[in-house]
Amino acid sequence: MSPHDQAVTPERILQMAWGYAPPLVLEAAIRHKVFDSLDSGPKSIAELLPLTNTSRRGLTIILNALVGFQFLAKQGDKYALTPESAAFLVRSKPSFMGGMILHTSEQLLPKWLHLNQIVTTGKPDHAVNQQQDGEEFFHQFVNDIFPMSYPAAQALAAHLNLTGPKSVLDLAAGSGVWTIALAQHSPEVKVTIVDWPGVIDVAKANAEKFGIGSRFTYHQGDLASADFGSNHDLATLGHILHSEGETRSRALLKKTFGALNSGGTIAIQEFLVNADRTGPVNGLVFAVNMLINTDEGDTYSFEEISTWLNEAGFVNARQLPAPGPSPLILATKP
């Protein structure tokens, strides 16, 4: 039978009806240290109970759901990590990717429950890209997504391989992940961090923790009004454009152009979509997240962003494959 001859079923719709369940199950498991407790080896429910501070009924049902989602394997009466969960869901590991999951029930999902209203109005009641509402959110959030960006930041550092004294501008730096990786790779790099006062202390603490704090300076302020300085060799914009929206993003790229030396590079990380906005699904869903959480945010294609870069004066807009949600976008100031 051809695909067109096959019977249409509601299976995918029924799966979508429970689409909120997997992240909530994962969050409960992470918060109760299920994956952490299994990192040393398979364990039975009786062995896990004192380690997870759970009820037998609750733990049993959560464990079995995780087996169904293939985040755990069951061996007789014992449960074990899969390679995927061992790599990415154990909180003590630097590759931990459950940070965003930890914000599902209290920060992300409650806002998604207003989607019907926001589709009507086009704007949320509170926008996290505005300082008044965003500082508290990002102060808690940026460290939890550090592991998502760190591998891509390391790839960028290796690709650029900066040598000699270099000045790097980190815009809306959050945890400082992008320039921490660059400073680790290149010992003569000096970094200027720009972010809100309520977030900048996170980047400062991380730079100190990694032993490179003496090479970091900090400018507090909003991207539209903060002083970026000048004569920088590299500027990083990690996951910024999607929250700013098109108008502010274009202005930000022009302002960044002015802060760079001739020959300087801009590096951008985004959740890219393709030119006709038919995929990838992750980028399309993240656009909905921007609808819910920002006043003008969206996700963009490489073609759109490269057009804005050209308008700002940059040349040679290009993509760099990296272990992140999308390739990095690089461009050069002539």
What is the per-residue pLDDT for 132?
A: 66
* Percentage of residues of the chain with pLDDT beyond 70: 97
In this predicted structure, the answer to whether residue 6 has a pLDDT above a threshold of 80 is no
What is the per-residue pLDDT for 127?
A: 85
CA distance 172 to 237: 7
CA distance 42 to 81: 7
Handedness of CA 86, 88, 89, 91 (dihedral sign): positive
What radius of gyration, in Å, describes the C-alpha atoms of the chain?
22
For strand 189-195 and strand 216-220, is the pairing parallel, antiparallel, or unpaired? parallel
What is the per-residue pLDDT for 270?
A: 97
Other C-beta atoms lying within 10 Å of the C-beta of residue 151: 16
Provide the angle, in degrees to the nearest 10, between the axes of the packed helices 56-68 and 45-52: 110
233-288 pLDDT, tens digit per residue, is: 999 999 999 999 999 999 999 999 999 999 999 999 999 999 999 999 999 999 99
Confidence band, pLDDT 50/70/90 cuts, at residue 84: very high
In this predicted structure, the answer to whether residue 3 has a pLDDT above a threshold of 60 is no
Confidence band, pLDDT 50/70/90 cuts, at residue 141: confident
Q: Are 202 and 143 in contact (CB under 8 A)?
A: yes
In this predicted structure, the answer to whether residue 129 has a pLDDT above a threshold of 90 is no
Which of 105-109, 282-286, 309-313 is least confident? 105-109
**Exposure string for 14-47, b = 16+ CB within 10 A, e = fewer:** eeeeeeeebbebbbbbbebbbbbbbeeebbeeeb
Bridge partners of 295, per DSSP, are none
- Whose tokens are 């976008």? That residue is 329
Closest CA to 226 of 166, 294, 298, 170: 170
Q: Are 236 and 267 in contact (CB under 8 A)?
A: yes
Contacts of residue 89, defined as CB under 8 A and 6 or more positions apart, other chains included, come to 26, 29, 30, 35, 71, 81, 96, 97, 98
Q: What are the chain's domains?
A: 11-98 (1.10.10.10), 131-332 (3.40.50.150)
Handedness of CA 80, 86, 88, 94 (dihedral sign): positive
pTM for the model: 0.92
* Higher per-residue confidence, 139 vs 174: 174
For strand 43-44 and strand 78-81, is the pairing parallel, antiparallel, or unpaired? antiparallel
What is the per-residue pLDDT for 294?
A: 94
CA distance 202 to 299: 26
In this predicted structure, the answer to whether residue 173 has a pLDDT above a threshold of 70 is yes
38-49 pLDDT, tens digit per residue, is: 999 999 999 999
CA distance 240 to 178: 12
* Higher per-residue confidence, 133 vs 250: 250
Cα of 69 vs its chain's centroid, Å: 23
For strand 78-81 and strand 72-75, is the pairing parallel, antiparallel, or unpaired? antiparallel
- Measured in degrees and rounded to the nearest 5, phi and psi for residue 172 equal 50, 60
What is the per-residue pLDDT for 87?
A: 96
- Number of helices (H), then strands (E), in the chain: 15, 10
The phi-psi region of residue 180 (left if phi > 0; otherwise alpha if psi is between -120 and 50; otherwise beta) is: alpha
In this predicted structure, the answer to whether residue 138 has a pLDDT above a threshold of 90 is no
